[in-house]
Each structure stands twice: as C-alpha cells, then as structure tokens.
C-alpha cells in the first residue's frame, strides 16, 4: 500500500490509507488512545482503541498506521485517522534526552546543538531551515534569470584572499594550503573570463578567535560579482531588487514556516536608505552621544544606526557607503584619497553584506596592493589576469546564516546553521 | 546610453545602440576593418572605417562600440554593427600568452589550466560550464519539486566519514580536524531529523595520492538521501528519473552550448539496465577474457561493462548492483552474508554514482562497524541518533565534474572544473 503524506489527507476522506512517520505525542484515555504522528509535511491525530496497545510505543519511534481518514477538530490538522492497525518500523531504543514534543523547545543553545538531530524535529527549529531554503532558492533564481552563471571555486587555496591572518592552514600533500576566506579572487577572475556575471553559494572559512552570537568559523556565503558596472551603486541596486525578490518568495512560499516561527517579513517597497559611513559616525556622536568610536563602527554602533534608520527613514535596512580606504581590502576601488566605492548593508542591527566596486586597472591594482603594505608578487596568479581585458566590476557577499537569523529574529546565528562550527564546537 | 546585449540585436535593426565586450578578432582590409566583439551572450561583427583606427586595439581589450545595427551575413551572427565610434574601457596590456581566438583551442591541459581565465573565454570551454550549470539546476529543481530540503553540512569534521585514510588534516585552533570526504553521516542525520528527504551540492575532499584523468582532490558532490524507502531499488528509480529530467533540461535549455561542443545528449527513454556486480564480473571473464579481476572491478572493467551494456541493452548507462560487503562502507545495508543493498551507476565507461540503502537499526549498525574492524565509540555522534527513530533510508552521490565530463565526452575530468585541485595543482 502506498504511503499517503499527511498534508494530502484531504484527498482521502472516508478512505483507508497508510501513513508513516514519527510518534510525536501519545495520550491514553479510558478506552481510546490519541497518537499524534508527524511526517515531513505535518502532524495528524490518530485515534486508536486501547486494545491495540499503542500507548506503549516509545515517543519518536518510526511507525506506519493503517486507518480511515475522518474529519477532525484539533488544532494540528482538520482531519484525523481512525486507526485499524499499525506497525513499528523502527522503535526508539531509549527515552529522549531532550523534550522535543512540546510547543516550545525550552533548551539552552548548547543542549540544542548537542542534540541537533532531535531538536531539528521541532517545528520551530526545522522551519528555520525551510525559510533558509527559500532564501537560497530566491538568491539563485533571481540571479539565474538575470544572466548570472553559477560557479564553484576552490576552497583549498595557496594564498589568503585578503592578506589577513584569520585563516585555517592545512597540509596539502607536500605543500601548505589554506581554506578560502571568500571566493573573492575567483569570482573576479570568472567575471573576467567572459561570464561577466557570476554567483556562488558555498562555505567559507574564518579562523576568528572570538566567540560571538553573530560569528561562525564556517559559514555559507552567497556571493555575486558582475562586470560592466558604472560603480558600486549598480551593486546596491541589484541587492535591493534581490532582497525584495527573496522576501517576496519567502512570504509567498514560506507562510507555514513563518507562522510556526511567528515572524512577519519586513515591508520593502521603498528603496533602502543610503548613508555615508562618515555621516553615520557623525549621527552616532550627535544623536546617541557615542564618542568612543574613533573613526570605526562597533556592534553597538551598528545597532544604533539601524535604530536611527528605522526612526528616520522607516527602514529596517540601511546601506552605509563610502567606507574609508584603510578599512577595505586592496582590491577595493578607491574614491579620492581616503574613501572607497564600497558599502555594507545592515539589517536589524547587524551587517549582512559587504560589497563594492573593485579595481579593474592593472597598474592601479598593483599600486593599491603596495599602498596596503602587501607584496604584489604574492598575488601574481590574481593580478596577472588584469593585463588581458578586465571590465569594470563589483560584487557583494551575503552571509546566509546571518540573513536567516536577522530575518527570523534568532538570538544567535548558530541557530541558523544545521551543524555550526565555532571556536570550540567541532561536533556533531 | 544603455548597453544592448549581443543576443538582443534583432530588436534594434536600423537603430543606433551601444554594445560592450571583449575584442575577439580584428581584420583590417584596405578601407574598412572588421572587429568581432564578444559579450556573455555571443559574438557580433562590427564594420568600421579605417579612419577610426580600430585595427590598433589589442585583442581581448574591453571596449564599447556605438553604431547602427544592420542585417549581416556571417556565421557568428545574423546581424552586424556599423561602427560610428568606440571607446576603450580597459585595454589589454600585453599580447595574449595563449591563442584563444581561433575556433579550436589547441592547448595541452596544463597550459589551458595555467591560463584558466583566458581559456575560459573560448566558447568551447565556457560552454562546458554553461552545461554544468544546467545539470546542477536540474538536480536541484527535480528534488525540490519532489519534497527534498537543501542542506549545508560542515566540511570541517572531527572524524572521517568512512574510516579511510585519504583525508586532509587541518589545525582547528587547539584541535585536529579533517576535511569532509562526503556529507554521508550528516545527510543521514538530517533524514532522521525529520526532513526525510535532503540534498546537498557542495565540495568534498579526497587526499588521494594518484593522479588520474578522472580524479580530483576537491570536487563537487551532488548528494541526496531519503527516508521511508523499501530498499535500494527506490534510490535507483529516483536516479533514473532525475537523470532523465536533467538531460531533458540540458537538451532544451543548452542547445547553443551543445552545438558549440558538438555533443548530443544520449536518449534515455528506456530504463537503465541493472546487473549484479557478480554477474558483471562473470561477463567480463566470459565475454572479454578478463581474468585479472580477482573479485574486483578496475577502470578497464568499467569500460568493458559499459561497452557490453551498449551492445546488449542499447544503453550508455548501467547500474551494477549487489556490491560485495567487503567493498562497501560500514553504513551499507547488508544483504545476506556477502552482498549489500548497494549500487554504482556507470556512464560511458566511468562510475558517476555510488549509492544504496543504509542500515537504520542501531544494533545492526554497531555490529556492522565491528564487522568492518572499526571502533563504534569513534562514531558515537553518528550512531547515537539511531536510537531515536531512524526510518529505513538510502541515497546516492553524483560527482558533478564527472557527469559533466562524461556527458560532454571530455578527456579529463579537470576540464569540467573551473579551477581543479589535484595532487600537484593548487593554483590558479
């Protein structure tokens, strides 16, 4: 007998069918037992005569149930199943180490992550990843329609992308190698290789020592890079449209998951306000009396400037633009002596994107590498391509776990990673 | 003035427009010069009076051309541009190190890969990746429609997936860690976490010492795993439908690229033949006098069994099933004492998929780990989830570069990787 999925019961009212899934809850009354079964599509209450002994099944066992579909009246499903027989496919061997069968999953983060496979069974947890799926799909869909080619670039590299120190080293046969901190060089190279517009969704690696609620040492970076732009405004424009597209998709196709998480998608009909980095620092000083910044932005500053954007522009997003040259990597297009054609996008108090225009002229690039105190020879594999026709170009990267966490108002970015890697966590 | 893409010229006949791209070829005659411009959508011939001096532009410079669209009669494009003016956006600084502006790219593999950004500009090279894009899109599209959730699992792991030795080690702060050889454990865990059906398209890492034309040390694995199956037949069935879907998509949407590569997609209306591994060995002995196998399959054996499949079943594919238990990892569902519920899929002489049913019973899994001579305690993070309701399940992995190379009859799998990593190659 074919398995029927729980969200298709409406097609089988009055019929005898088979469903399969996990035993979510059991409640035994005097003559009948209620068993709630969960499959990947939903929950359904099954009503069973006590003579069948369903009350002895261990919670979270995998079972199949044969029975007749009836109209029901519980909050989980408008239908229920009158059980005729059941079969235990794989019984749970032990009582559960965490209680996942309540409407709220009341666990601290470490316990949740240590028991990841079980905690993911909770609707409020697996809904996070269903929404994340829609974000990724939206990212790819929008860009594919817009002429972008998907790329897969190496994560084992012979040199660090940005000359930084926060990089994992590995032994690659006789050589030293590193885990890529970003696909930056490769996506630029592939713009120049004639694809013009490229994107990648893949892991990147940062050996950052600090443990915060918004950093992961391995995370999924949604990168894009495009040629033949005027300047960084083109990149911000595409990001605006991209985010609108993604949010519309999540709203439409993710209704069920948003409801489970009790989350509303922010309205993004207006353009995202754009503010110079230097102006943002001025505002922080004047409006919030934040005098400890010393020309830099800190996490509290990001929160406050988002607060400001909400109050003054009615936007939960804000682009900060014209970042100082000293704060941006060597490939960033300079603007005058001290600024750059670059931006960050902040969303609800956290940076979710860094982007900008890149240098496309060979000589300017070599000079900027020197200006940054780096050695051009070390970047030869990257710089040499600028000799053979590189168009003006730019791009951005969105942290997948970060945008998920911000959109869903999760307290910690780790909640938006299936199996997060941080300073101390290598398992499960 | 807005840039017009070359594949949209048909909408602008008789109009003055601007195009941008790379200078592909220049041919100077007595009074006029022909310049062929390439953008990401195609090629177009531009006709220019010699007074404009276009013949002095270096090949592969990035330029913009203003002019009027006319009907043309060359093989590259049914239209051409009568040049009114042009602008050099970024001149090539040097002559090209390789000749990419002929219809055939006549280079050895190393030269092609050392000059990757330039060789990718050649139509026959970039078309490989356009087809690869369609393969990946097809994989995701088919599975998403079929209720699969996309997953992102860690590539930094604390233990090897299959107990093998061909694994890259890295320093993870104070700890040792490894690069994942496959998402095997994680995809099984996520089936058990209630998603039931999951897929991942991501890099995996094999520290294999040998340099062959079909191995990469970093490659893209298209993985799927699904619960509530009967046995491995369900997995083979889904792979058949998946490959038909992908090939249809490539045929329909990739016509232009297949034409450039002079490749036809194999007809896959019939079911893929299925042959027991032991029967395949018998056939190799009887039909091809291959007596050196000693119960194992080698690359020549794979080629011959594909030849056999083509001749006897009319199929360029063949499933080999019932692999011996000693050849399969500990998580593989045994079948009797010596065989397993597993399969490989061979395509044109090369294995492109390994798959099968996995063990879902905790005790059987522990016993099989011991049977394989491994230590169950080392796999605790993986095995413990089998105590809490794991459905019968199975899955497969398709090597993206391999299926691309086989489909396009490339001689070396490296040609299907943007920036391949092998025993000696870490750059570009």
pLDDT digits (tens, 9 = 90+) for B98-144: 999 998 998 999 999 999 999 999 999 999 999 999 999 999 999 99
Contact (CB<8Å) B92/A389? yes
Question: Smallest CA–CA separation between B328 and chain A, in Å?
Answer: 23
| Residue pairs spanning A and B at CB distance below 8 A | 233
Q: Tell me what ipTM this predicted complex has.
A: 0.97
Q: What is the pLDDT of residue B162?
A: 60
Q: What is the pLDDT of residue A270?
A: 74
> Cβ(B70)–Cβ(B64) under 8 Å?
no
**Model confidence at A373: pLDDT above 80:** yes
**Model confidence at A114: pLDDT above 80:** yes
H or E stretch including B239? Answer: helix B232-253
Q: State mean pLDDT over A231-238.
A: 98
Residues of B in contact with A228 (CB under 8 A): 3, 20
User: Buried b vs exposed e over A47-64: b needs ≥16 C-beta within 10 Å?
Assistant: bbeeebebeebbbbbbbb
**Model confidence at A312: pLDDT above 90:** yes
Which residue reads 């996990």 in tokens?
Answer: A22
**Model confidence at A50: pLDDT above 60:** yes
Question: Using CA atoms, how far apart are residues B251 and B253, in angstroms rounded to an integer?
Answer: 6
**Model confidence at B270: pLDDT above 90:** no
Q: Chain-wide mean pLDDT for chain A? A: 95
Q: Which of B16, B53, B52, B22 is nearest to B37 (CA)?
A: B22
The number of residues in chain A equals 428
For B194, the closest of A40, A89, A428 (CB atoms) is A40
In chain B, the residue whose alpha carbon lies closest to the alpha carbon of A133 is B150
Question: Smallest CA–CA separation between B419 and chain A, in Å?
Answer: 6
* Number of neighbours of residue A79 by Cβ within 10 angstroms: 18
**Model confidence at A320: pLDDT above 90:** yes
Contact (CB<8Å) B62/A417? no
Residue B60 is classified by DSSP as T
Model confidence at A164, in pLDDT bands (50, 70, 90)? low
Residues of A in contact with B385 (CB under 8 A): 117-118
Which pTM value belongs to this model?
Answer: 0.97
Model confidence at B14, in pLDDT bands (50, 70, 90)? very high
Model confidence at A391, in pLDDT bands (50, 70, 90)? very high
Exposed, middle or buried by CB within 10 Å (0-12, 13-18, 19+), for A270? Answer: exposed
* Digit-coded pLDDT (tens) for B127-139: 999 999 999 999 9
Question: Using CA atoms, how far apart are residues A347 and A413, in angstroms rounded to an integer?
Answer: 14
DSSP A70-96: EE--SSS-SEEEEEEEEEEEE---S--
Contact (CB<8Å) A116/B193? yes
Question: Smallest CA–CA separation between B12 and chain A, in Å?
Answer: 20
**Which residue out of B386, B388, B425 would a mutagenesis test of the A interface target, given it has the greatest number of A Cβ atoms within 10 Å?**
B388
Question: Smallest CA–CA separation between B403 and chain A, in Å?
Answer: 15
* Digit-coded pLDDT (tens) for A195-211: 999 999 999 999 998 88
Cβ neighbors of A148 (< 8 A, separation 6 or more) are A197, A198, A199, A224, A226
Question: Smallest CA–CA separation between A345 and chain B, in Å?
Answer: 24
Report residue B74 CA to chain centroid gap: 34
Cα dist from A18 to A21, A57, A84, whole Å: 10, 18, 10
Contact (CB<8Å) B203/A121? no
Backbone conformation region of residue A424, classed left if phi is above 0, alpha if psi is from -120 to 50, else beta: alpha
Q: State mean pLDDT over B417-423.
A: 97
Contact (CB<8Å) A194/B218? no
Cα dist from B44 to A197, A419, B47, B186, whole Å: 20, 49, 10, 49
**Model confidence at A161: pLDDT above 80:** no
Model confidence at A74, in pLDDT bands (50, 70, 90)? confident
Domains and CATH numbers, chain A: 6-90 (2.40.50.140), 117-416 (3.30.930.10)
Q: What is the pLDDT of residue A370?
A: 96
Model confidence at A246, in pLDDT bands (50, 70, 90)? very high
H or E stretch including A244? Answer: helix A232-253
Contact (CB<8Å) A170/B170? yes
Contact map slice: B 273-292 vs A, CB within 8 A? none
Contact (CB<8Å) B389/A92? yes
Q: State mean pLDDT over B401-412.
A: 98
Q: What is the pLDDT of residue B267?
A: 81
H-type alpha helices, A146-226: 184-190
Question: Using CA atoms, how far apart are residues B424 and B417, in angstroms rounded to an integer?
Answer: 15
Q: What is the CA radius of gyration of chain A?
A: 26
**Using omega within 30 degrees of 0 as the cis cutoff, is the peptide bond preceding A106 cis?**
no
Model confidence at A151, in pLDDT bands (50, 70, 90)? very high
Question: Using CA atoms, how far apart are residues A182 and A358, in angstroms rounded to an integer?
Answer: 15
Interface membership of A95 toward B (CB under 8 Å): no
In chain B, the residue whose alpha carbon lies closest to the alpha carbon of A381 is B428
Interface membership of A204 toward B (CB under 8 Å): no
**Model confidence at A365: pLDDT above 60:** yes
Interface membership of B25 toward A (CB under 8 Å): no
Q: Chain-wide mean pLDDT for chain B? A: 95
Q: What share of chain B has pLDDT > 70, as a percent?
A: 99
Model confidence at B164, in pLDDT bands (50, 70, 90)? low
Lowest mean pLDDT among A11-15, B63-67, B263-267: B263-267
Residue A375 is classified by DSSP as -
Q: Which has more confidence, B189 or B162?
A: B189
Interface membership of B179 toward A (CB under 8 Å): yes
Question: Smallest CA–CA separation between A29 and chain B, in Å?
Answer: 25
Q: What is the pLDDT of residue B269?
A: 73
> Cβ(B227)–Cβ(B385) under 8 Å?
no
Question: Using CA atoms, how far apart are residues A13 and A81, in angstroms rounded to an integer?
Answer: 9
**Model confidence at B163: pLDDT above 80:** no
Lowest mean pLDDT among A121-135, A240-254, B292-306, B385-399: B292-306
H or E stretch including B125? Answer: helix B123-145
**Model confidence at B210: pLDDT above 90:** no
**Model confidence at B259: pLDDT above 70:** yes
Interface membership of B362 toward A (CB under 8 Å): yes
Contact (CB<8Å) B156/A218? yes
Question: Smallest CA–CA separation between A94 and chain B, in Å?
Answer: 6
């Amino acid at each position: 007998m074919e398995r029927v999925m729980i969200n298709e019961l409406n097609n089988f009212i009055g019929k005898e069918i088979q469903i399969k899934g996990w035993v979510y809850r059991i409640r035994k009354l005097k003559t009948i037992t209620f068993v709630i079964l969960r499959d990947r599509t939903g929950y359904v209450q099954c009503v069973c005569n006590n003579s069948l002994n369903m009350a002895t099944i261990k919670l979270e066992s995998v079972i199949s149930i044969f029975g007749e579909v009836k109209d029901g009246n519980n909050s989980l499903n408008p239908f229920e199943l009158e059980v005729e027989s059941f079969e235990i496919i794989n019984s749970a061997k032990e009582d559960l180490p965490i209680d996942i069968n309540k409407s709220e999953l009341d666990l601290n983060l470490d316990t949740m992550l240590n028991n990841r496979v079980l905690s993911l069974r909770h609707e409020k947890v697996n809904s996070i990843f269903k929404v994340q799926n829609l974000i990724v799909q939206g990212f790819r869909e929008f860009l594919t329609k817009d002429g972008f080619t998907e790329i897969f670039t190496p994560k084992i590299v012979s040199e660090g992308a940005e000359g930084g120190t926060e990089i994992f080293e590995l032994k690659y046969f006789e050589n030293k190698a590193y885990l890529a901190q970003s696909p930056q060089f490769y996506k630029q190279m592939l713009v120049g290789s004639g694809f013009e517009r490229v994107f990648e969704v893949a892991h990147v690696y940062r050996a950052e020592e600090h443990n915060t609620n918004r950093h992961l040492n391995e995370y999924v970076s949604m990168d894009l890079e495009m040629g033949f732009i005027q300047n960084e405004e083109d990149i911000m424009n595409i990001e605006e449209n991209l985010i609108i597209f993604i949010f519309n998709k999540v709203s439409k196709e993710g209704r069920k998951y948003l409801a489970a998480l009790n989350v509303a998608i922010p309205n993004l009909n207006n353009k995202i306000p754009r503010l110079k980095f230097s102006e943002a620092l001025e505002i922080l000083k004047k409006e919030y009396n934040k005098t400890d910044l010393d020309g830099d932005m800190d996490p509290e500053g990001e929160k406050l400037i988002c607060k400001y954007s909400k109050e003054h522009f009615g936007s939960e997003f804000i682009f900060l633009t014209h970042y100082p040259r000293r704060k941006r990597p060597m490939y960033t297009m300079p603007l005058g002596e001290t600024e750059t054609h670059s931006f960050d996008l902040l969303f609800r108090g956290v940076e979710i994107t860094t982007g900008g225009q890149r240098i496309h002229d060979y000589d300017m690039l070599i000079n900027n590498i020197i200006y940054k105190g780096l050695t051009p020879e070390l970047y030869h594999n990257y710089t040499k391509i600028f000799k053979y026709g590189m168009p003006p170009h730019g791009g951005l990267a969105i942290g997948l776990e970060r945008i998920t966490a911000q959109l869903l108002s999760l307290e910690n970015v780790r909640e938006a990673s299936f199996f997060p890697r941080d300073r101390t966590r290598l398992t499960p």
